[in-house]
Amino acid sequence: RAEERLKRHRPAGGGQRTEADTARLVHELEVHQIELEMQNEELQQARATADALLAQYTALYDFAPTGYFTLDREGAIRQLNLNGARLLGGERSGLVKRRFGQFVAESDRRAFSDFLEQVFASEAKESCEVRLRQAGAPPLFVRIEGTRSAVAQECHAVVLDMTERKRAEETLRQKVEALCASNAQLETFNRAMVGRELRMIELKLEINELCRRLGEPPRHATDQFQTGHIPGAGPAPAPPGG
């Protein structure tokens, strides 16, 4: 077909070419060949740049300290990075196509299902906090943040390990509870001591009053508690017979 088209485009008179025409044609072919070589070099350079960028972003994705997951509507794992595999406690190749919910603690699976449903129902970023089961080890506390992809068929999720933070919060909570309990004990002890001190004052006043009635001098100095006031004890009772 190319030969037939060439024949149709040949000028009348048998298509005889002069030496100048041949030289011009050869020159055009050489220029075209150089242009193709330059384009090929540019394509090779562009491809090398693209490969370098792909390797860079792949490294950033794979070795990021955060778990990255791509989930479908059923929660099945389509893609994940190395840290994501570590959080789930398995090899990356063996985790693809498995449902993320299988690794969530049973009591938290409803929260994860609601999170996934909300992601695909809106364009906003959704989040939830769940525990991930660990074979032979305490569970991991994680926060999951996810958004729906542009084609609305995938959920891009970021999984943050909050185990150390949760443990620190629990330790702090226990210390606060212990301090509150200790403070309550001290307050009880303080009230008991104040009550005992008040009773001692009452007894001394009663003894002094009895001595007065018997015509004897008082046995206890009462200047320091004549008003009957002890800090934190409230007003003192009136002396007997007063």
pLDDT in tens, 189-211: 888 888 888 888 888 888 888 88
Residues whose CB is less than 8 angstroms from the CB of residue 241 and which lie 6 or more positions away in sequence, other chains included: 209
> How are strands ordered across the β-sheet holding 155-161?
77-80, 67-71, 155-161, 137-148, 126-134
Distance CA 68, CA 158 (A): 5
User: And the tokens for 204?
Assistant: 């001394």
Indicate the pLDDT class of residue 75, thresholds 50, 70 and 90: very high
Residue 186, pLDDT above cutoff 90: no
Where is mean pLDDT largest: 69-78, 132-141, 215-224?
69-78
Over residues 216-233, mean pLDDT: 61
Residue 231, pLDDT above cutoff 50: no
Distance CA 126, CA 154 (A): 14
User: What's the mean per-residue pLDDT of the chain?
Assistant: 83
pLDDT at 158: 95
pLDDT at 65: 85
Distance CA 116, CA 31 (A): 59
Over residues 25-44, mean pLDDT: 87
Over residues 65-77, mean pLDDT: 93
Over residues 155-161, mean pLDDT: 94
pLDDT at 15: 55
pLDDT at 14: 52
pLDDT in tens, 112-156: 999 999 999 988 999 999 999 987 888 999 999 999 987 768 999
pLDDT at 108: 96
3-state secondary structure the chain: CHHHHHHHHCCCCCCCCCHHHHHHHHHHHHHHHHHHHHHHHHHHHHHHHHHHHHHHHHHHHHCCCCEEEEECCCCEEEEECHHHHHHHCCCHHHHCCCEHHHHECHHHHHHHHHHHHHHHHCCCCEEEEEEEEECCEEEEEEEEEEEECCCCCCEEEEEEECHHHHHHHHHHHHHHHHHHHHHHHHHHHHHHHHHHHHHHHHHHHHHHHHHHHCCCCCCCCCHHHCCCCECCCECCCCCCCC
Q: Is the separation of the CB atoms in 163 and 87 below 8 Å?
A: no
